[in-house]
Structure 1
Amino acid sequence: MSVKSAERVLRVFELLSQYQDGLTIKEISEKLSFPQSSTSGLIGTLYKEGYLSLDSFNQYKLGPKLIQIGSAALESLDFSKQALPYLKKLMEDVQETVFMALLSEKDLVYVAKIDNNRSIRTTAQPGSHKPLYCTGLGKAFLAFMNEQQKNQILDSTELLPITSHTITDRLELEQQLEIFKQLGHSIDDEENEEGLFCMAAPVYGADNSIQAAISVAGPKERMIKQRNAIVEKLLLTSKEVSASIGYKVGQGQP
């Protein structure tokens, strides 16, 4: 048996997820065909409890409490455990270090690292955070997430030089991201660590949005020599991991 008030809360969340600039109470009631009086009370309660936020134009948006809940739900899926067999197979195929990362606000957080016996030393370890703009995994998120989210992140990110190869010009970075979208994968050419070359690909979930990213990293000279073979294996693995968490082939990409 469904509960009407609970259903209305869910419809509000679903509606506002499609209008990231927010909606007024009147707009919400009209779009959902709810009485404006009861909508006002419902929205007021959700706002008071932190599930909605309110801007200066009296438009309501999804609130900070939902971020916490969403993050917990994401973690409960345990992407790294689900992806582990595929990541191990990728490492064995390419004989280089393989990583997996999730998005944490405007940074990436590493959740898996599969070392090869000839792995090079790197500061990237499970649990550590890195900027998006100068890492292969991070640039996969920027290239394949929606435009609004990408712009919000870049607007609040200072593009600092991590190495002499780091791209610090936003226009140049955005042009590069467009190329990556066409390629289907991103590249970090010694932009975060000297000598390290990385290629990364997006992992999509059931909602057709990027949920994670996986990468292959190693010494630049060695990576370049087998670049085409690595890209082929990387993209195949990203598709397999995506399918394992609910993405259906043929849905298309964002």
Structure 2
Amino acid sequence: MESKNKTVVKAMTLLNLFLTREKLSLNDMIELTGMPKTSVYRMVRSLEDMGFLDRDEDGMYALGLLFLQYGQLVSDRLDIRKIALPIMKKLRDEVDEAVHLIVREGDEAMYIEKIEGTHTVRLYTAIGRRSPLYAGACARSILTFLPREEREEYIKKTDLVPIASGTIRDKDELGRVLDESYRNGFTVSHSELEDYTSAIAAPIFNNKRQIAAGISIAGFEARFQNDRLPYLTERVRQAALEISRKLGF
């Protein structure tokens, strides 16, 4: 317990009370936790300000609507992983390259599933890794299919920091690449997140026709030459479409 942040522990102690109780008063929380009144008051006020707790006109507290948002995000992402995994395995077997599944996390993309390729030398990617939306085919497949206003606002406010030798650093070029990817329905990258690597990605849509995730195949540049790109592109697009249909698209 000593290694844990005491403020976080106290906040979780309060929130855990609501696992079995719909509503609680301030005095209820003080009695149930045995924490000092001033500590509970400050903590509850902070949780209310952040949206984790809601207070009604009678002064009773309940879990805030923010938890619905988090819960829906977790549910959606778990559903996507479950649905996508067998399709990802099939894709890996077809193309013999690593396959990644990513979702948007704010202004970043997060890898939530990965199927390794069969080659001895492997890419430096892992579940939980993050990358900016502008860099790499998989992340950019999400940026490409965001609503245009949202996409343009992202480009306007974002500094294009180089990650590898091929990272796009010019905003006009990024806009051009996004437009081309939108027309083509897929995204290609070379040496954007790691030198001498390439990736091809396609968007995954949900039942509301909104971008839900991105799927990519990735490997070393030598295996992504022009003569093989059409085959790889078709395979990843078909996989993305299959997942999208299972999500209700």
Shared fold (TM-score greater than 0.5)? yes
Tell me the matched-pair count. Answer: 188
Choose the corresponding residue for 2:247, options 238, 245, 251.
245
**What does residue range 1-254 of structure 1 map to in structure 2 within 5 Å?**
50=51, 69-77=68-76, 78=78, 79-118=80-119, 120-224=121-225, 225-247=227-249
Is contact 1:120–1:218 with CA below 8 Å preserved after alignment? Answer: no
TM-score, normalization by structure 1: 0.69
Once residues 140 and 126 of structure 2 are traced to their aligned partners in structure 1, the CA distance between those partners, rounded to angstroms, is 18
Q: Which runs of 5+ in 1 are unaligned?
A: 1-47, 52-64, 248-254
RMSD between superposed Cα atoms in Å: 2.1
The alpha-carbon deviation at position 121 of structure 1 amounts to 2.9
Once residues 111 and 213 of structure 1 are traced to their aligned partners in structure 2, the CA distance between those partners, rounded to angstroms, is 10
* CA shift in 2, pair 1:191/1:157, >3 Å: same
Is contact 2:92–2:115 with CA below 8 Å preserved after alignment? Answer: yes
* CA shift in 2, pair 1:70/1:148, >3 Å: farther
Once residues 49 and 134 of structure 1 are traced to their aligned partners in structure 2, the CA distance between those partners, rounded to angstroms, is 31
* CA shift in 2, pair 1:245/1:170, >3 Å: same
The alpha-carbon deviation at position 50 of structure 1 amounts to 4.9
* CA shift in 2, pair 1:68/1:170, >3 Å: farther
AA aligned to 1:76 is S
AA aligned to 2:170 is D
Percentage identity across paired residues of the two chains: 28
* CA shift in 2, pair 1:73/1:120, >3 Å: farther
TM-score, normalization by structure 2: 0.70
Q: Which runs of 5+ in 2 are unaligned?
A: 1-48, 53-63
Once residues 240 and 108 of structure 2 are traced to their aligned partners in structure 1, the CA distance between those partners, rounded to angstroms, is 20
AA aligned to 1:196 is T
Q: Deviation string for 1:19-53 (max 9, x for gaps)?
A: xxxxxxxxxxxxxxxxxxxxxxxxxxxxx8859xx
Task: Answer with 1 or 2: which has the greater Rg.
Answer: 2
Once residues 136 and 67 of structure 1 are traced to their aligned partners in structure 2, the CA distance between those partners, rounded to angstroms, is 31
